[in-house]
Amino acid sequence: MRRFEDMNPLCAAFYYLCVLGLTMFGMNPLTLSLSLLSSILSAVLFGAVKGRGHAFSLILFLIAALINPLIVHNGMTVLFYFNDNPITLEAVLYGLTAAGMITASLYWLRCLSKVMTSDKVLYIFGRFSPKLALLLSMSLRFIELLRVRWRKIQDTQKALGLYRDGNLIDALRGRARVLSVLIGWTLENGIVTAESMEGRGYGSGRRTSYSAYRMHLSDWLFLPVCAGLTAVAVVGQVRSTVVFYPDMQMELWNLWGILGAAAFAVLGTLPLIINAKEALRWRGLLSKV
């Protein structure tokens, strides 16, 4: 079973580049509402955002929506006055659209973070620069090591009587000392790592970058489909008119606008479609076992 998460990382990267680009660069209310809906759906189904995350997004949405009418007073239709400043319908609607854009982008990014594990990030960097991928991989290992060691040094020093007074200054000074030991120890031992690298051929010539990921037929198919849908959605956005200030002019429901929105709807739910299809196929396969 090849779920969206198991596809080549380039596909996932390209996909999120497309949806994020369409979401961030457009201010089309139609596309943005579709984007918001599909991003929330994606985030829930991928398990990228849980209870508290949704609450945070809601608060962010509200704040982002409120800021614009409170600061920007352009627009013809005045709704009411607040502190002697006009609050206009246009500014309110713009604020809502911008808030939708920001919220949707954040939901997409959460999905991206969930799907793009460190392995996949490394794979993509390895394509550009094997050396950089190695540097990233080494840093990731050192992060884990530092975490383990921090704990160990903290314990050791405590048991040897480092934290005597139990006040804040003592705690801070102790932390700084522990950090200092941590750095010294890690740098010192790092030389062994460097020797191990040299012993195993580092710097003997050009590196290659290995990864278990390969391009399957489905990956090759995915990329043009994704690009095609994006292209249609872009044309749809260009052909529709969205003007907020000073007077709202919206023309969303022409042929291209509808086509573009439809393309975006498919694009936004593409990973879900793939996973549903794979799940169905899996059921069929299992029944044969």
Partner 1 sequence: MARLTLEGLSFTYPDAKAPALCDVDLQIEGGEFLTLMGATGSGKSTLLRLLKPELRQNGTLSGRVLLDGKDIGGLTARESASAVGFVAQNPEEQIVTDKVWHELAFTLESLGARRELIARRIAEIAAFFDIEPWLDRETATLSGGQKQLLNLAAVMTADPEVLILDEPTAQLDPIAASRFIDTLHRLNRETGLTVIISEHRAEELIPISDRLLILEEGRLAFCDTPKKAASALKDTAYLRFLTASARIFAGTDGAGEAPLSVREGQAYVNGLTVKEIQTAEKTAEQKASALSLKNVYFRYERRGADVLSDLDLEVKEGEIFALLGRNGAGKSTMAAVAAGLRRAYSGSVRVFSKRLKDYTNGSLYQGVLSLLPQDTENVFLRETVREELCGCEKAEERLPFDFKPLYDRHPFDLSGGERQLAALCKALSTNPRLLILDEPSKGLDGNMKALLCGVLKGLKREGVTILMISHDVEFAALCADRCALFSQGRIAAADETETFLFENRFYTTAASRITRQKTRGGYTVERAVKLLGGAGC
Partner 2 sequence: MLTIRNTKVRTLLRYAIPFLLVPLLVAVGAVAFEGKRYLIISLGIAVLALLLFMTGFERRNIGSRRMVITAIMTALAVFGRFIPVFKPITAIVVLTAVYLGAEAGFFCGALSVLLSNIYFGQGPWTPFQMLGFGLIGLLAGYLGRVLERSRVLLALYGAAAGVLYSLMMDVWTVLWYSGGFDGKLYLAAIGSAVPFTVVYAVSNAAFLMLLYRPVGNKLRRIKRKYGV
Binding site for partner 1 (CB under 8 A): 118-119, 122, 130, 134, 137-138, 140-141, 144-145, 148-149, 152-153, 155-161, 163-164, 166, 177, 180-181, 184-185, 188-190, 192-193, 195-210, 212
> CB of residue 126 vs partner 1: minimum separation in angstroms?
9
Q: Which does 121 bind (CB under 5 to 8 A by kind): partner 2, partner 1, none?
A: partner 2
> CB of residue 168 vs partner 1: minimum separation in angstroms?
15
Segment contacting partner 2 (CB under 8 A): 34-42, 81-89, 122-130, 273-281?
122-130
Angle between helices 255-268 and 29-45 (to 10 degrees): 10
Pair of tokens at residue 69: 């009418």
Q: How far apart are CA 32 and CA 108, in angstroms?
A: 12
Pair of tokens at residue 191: 């030389």
Q: Which does 212 bind (CB under 5 to 8 A by kind): partner 2, partner 1, none?
A: partner 1
Q: Which of 236, 246, 265, 268 is nearest to 26 (CA)?
A: 236
Q: Which residue carries 């599909």 as its tokens? A: 38
Q: How many other C-beta atoms are found inside a 10 Å radius of the C-beta of residue 111?
A: 29
> CB of residue 161 vs partner 2: minimum separation in angstroms?
21
Query: Looking at beta carbons only, is 113 or 167 nearer to partner 2?
Result: 113
Query: Looking at beta carbons only, is 85 or 156 nearer to partner 1?
Result: 156
Q: Work out whether 127 is an interface residue with partner 2 (CB under 8 A).
A: yes
- Of the candidate residues 58, 62, 76, 138, the single one contacting partner 2 (CB under 8 A): 138
Range list of β-strands (E), the chain: 78-82, 85-88, 241-243, 249-251
* Residue 138 half-sphere exposure toward CB, CA atoms < 13 A: 12
> From residue 196, how far is each of 130, 136, 138, 199, 202 by CA, in Å?
18, 17, 13, 5, 9
Q: Which residue carries 């759906």 as its tokens? A: 41
Residues lying near partner 2 in the complex (CB under 8 A) are found at 10, 20, 24-27, 64, 67-68, 71-72, 98, 102, 105-106, 109-110, 112-113, 116, 118, 121, 127-132, 134-136, 138-143, 145-147, 150, 172, 175-176, 179-180, 182-184, 186-188, 190-191, 193-195, 197-198, 202-203, 215, 242
